[in-house]
Structure 1
Amino acid sequence: MTARIDAALDAVADERATLRDERSALTAFDGRVAGLSTVTVSTGPPLVADPRPSGQSLSRLRTAYAETVMATPHYEAEYGDTVAESLAAEFGDDLAAAIIGGTALTPELRDAVRAATDAAQREREEFLDVLDREADSLATAADDIEALSTDLDTLDDRPLSTRSFDELHDLWTATRDLEARIDGVGLRRQETLRSHRNDLPGVPTDLCEYLYHDLSASYPVLASLADLGSRLERTRRRVERGLATTP
């Protein structure tokens, strides 16, 4: 009954591992950038490098990026882009252009890179917080669904033909109670999904579609509840038929 949710928990664990690797890589990159020497440019906009100074530090910055951020275990399979494409995706087009097309690392450029790196780290932290809540939501829902499934099995543990009218009526009432519990689990899950959307405005798609697009169901909890609801509906219909034919 909870196989879909178990698969979703595995997907969340994989995404958490990916984010932790990226956060660590960004931390390593920032440390290397902090140690690079800079060249002061007397005139011109702060992100435009003076053509006269040596570009050795800027080259080292690009190398540091490739050896940290782009060297995570999943990077090639997940992104597979160039240094220029990766910088643009991570830090924006303007800063990427200054890093790729510049000839010297100015103090202002280094500060801008470090600020962008810090922002990228914070994005990972926020995403990890949401994934922690998602994992808790999935685990709680799995426990609830297992308990509901067990209770449904207990209700239907002996033939309806052996039950009296009063017993069948009690059984029908119990199915309505189970239905209310199923609805409650679904409502709590929907609340969690809404909170994810509010907390992750930068995610381009719905979080479930992003995390679970390779699974049998993009909404594993709701799909499991739908299956349980169908089972319950079949039981209730049999009970209602029994009530109709039992004196």
Structure 2
Amino acid sequence: MSTTPAQDGTQWFLHTWRDHILEPIETALSVLDVEHTELTAEQDGLEEFLERLRAVDPAEQPSSPVGARQQSASDPVERLRDAYADTVLAVDHYESVYDESLVENVAIEFGPDYAALFHPETNVRFSPPLKQSLVAAAEQAVDERAALDRAVRLEQEAMREHRSSLQGILDALDSTVVPEWYRETFRNDVGALLEDRQEQLHSSVHRFETHEFCAYMYEEQLWTYPVLTSLARFQESVDS
């Protein structure tokens, strides 16, 4: 027996309502998935650059006078530029996310002190101490990506857990009116979910203060806290 138009309308309304409630969490999961993919690619690129950097021998000659450089296939600067272009700048999302010149990106990634070294007409000598400090800067960049990715994966896990819990509460309702017999359980369940997320937000995510992490991760959204936004939508839309 087919459903009646009224039944179809009710089911459509409930489906749309549940989607509206869960939308911030679903959006957060999409954002986090993209961030994880990009961080993984960037970490791989930096690690490959670090490997090639370690293979570049420091220059033995002192800095040449200001003016045109004589470059060769074994020129350390040329090898560093090629290595950086082939690795860090070669990730699929580089142009869409960063779109910076090689020198600009080096300055942001490792600090402005290293930008001159990567300039095609630099007179900075790639000395052993400079190589050592650049290796350390690249290692730090790798560590920072790894730490942020760990935080992203923790947030993904939290989003999935809260989505599952909220989905379970939503599925127990067949309208926006909470039945009298279910109201105490409903309030307890929603309250427990809210308390759990607030406790998470008052903790830290690895090296990151949680508010700063959320503000950075969800900066393009109209909200900063997806779970709290979903819960606020839920509480505002039901008669409990």
- Per the TM alignment, residue 38 of structure 1 is displaced from its structure 2 partner at its CA by 1.4
Cα shift readout 1:210-245 (whole Å, capped 9, x = no counterpart): 32334464322111111221234x2x3xxxxxxxxx
State how far apart, in whole Å, the 2-side matches of 1:32 and 1:157 are: 62
Matches within 5 A, 1:1-247: 1=18, 2-40=22-60, 50-51=63-64, 56-100=75-119, 101-153=122-174, 168=180, 171=181, 174-196=182-204, 199-200=207-208, 206-215=212-221, 217-232=223-238, 234=239, 236=240
**Deviation digits for residues 24-63 of structure 1, max 9, x if unmatched?**
100111111111121247xxxxxxx633797611222122
Q: Which amino acid is the alignment partner of residue 64 of structure 2?
A: P
Cα distance between partner residues in 2 of 1:195 and 1:51: 53
The 10-residue stretch of structure 1 (179-188 or 213-222) with the greater mean CA deviation from structure 2 = 213-222
CA shift in 2, pair 1:155/1:34, >3 Å: closer
Cα pair 2:77 2:117 within 8 Å, conserved: no
Q: In structure 2, what is the Cα distance between the partners aligned to 1:89 and 1:155? A: 50
Q: How many residues align?
A: 212
Q: Secondary structure at the residue paired with 2:135? A: helix
Give the conservation status (yes or no) of the 8 Å contact 1:54–1:104: no
Q: CA deviation at 1:156?
A: 5.2
Q: Distance in 1 between matches of 2:118 and 2:128?
A: 13
Q: Distance in 1 between matches of 2:202 and 2:78?
A: 44
**Conserved? CA contact 2:159–2:227, under 8 Å:** yes
More displaced stretch, 129-138 vs 215-224: 215-224
Please, which runs of 5 or more residues in structure 1 have no aligned partner? 42-48, 159-167, 237-247
Q: What CA distance in whole angstroms lies between the structure 1 residues aligned with 2:48 and 2:99?
A: 20
| Amino acid corresponding to residue 112 of structure 1 in structure 2 | S
Query: What TM-score do you get using the length of structure 1 for normalisation?
Result: 0.75
Deviations 1:55-75 (A, max 9, x none): 611222122112211111111
Counterpart CA distance in 2 for 1:99 and 1:108 is 16
Q: Larger helix proportion, structure 1 or 2?
A: 1
Task: Look up the SS of the partner of 1:206 in the other structure.
Answer: helix
CA deviation profile, 1:70-100 (whole Å, cap 9, x unmatched):
1111111111111221111111112323443
Aligned partners of 1:194 and 1:50: how far apart in 2? 52
Structure 1 stretch displaced more, 57-66 or 101-110: 101-110
Per the alignment, do residues 148 and 108 of structure 1 end up closer, same or farther by CA in structure 2, a change over 3 Å counting?
Answer: same
* Structure 2: segments with no counterpart, 5+ residues: 1-17
Q: Out of 127-136 and 100-109, give the one that drifted further.
A: 100-109
- How many angstroms apart in 1 are the aligned matches of 2:57 and 2:224? 48
CA RMSD of aligned residues (A): 2.8
In structure 2, give the amino acid aligned to 1:223: T
Q: Is the 8 A contact 1:130 1:196 kept in 2?
A: no
Asked whether the equivalents of residues 147 and 206 of structure 2 are also in contact (C-alpha less than 8 Å), the reply is no
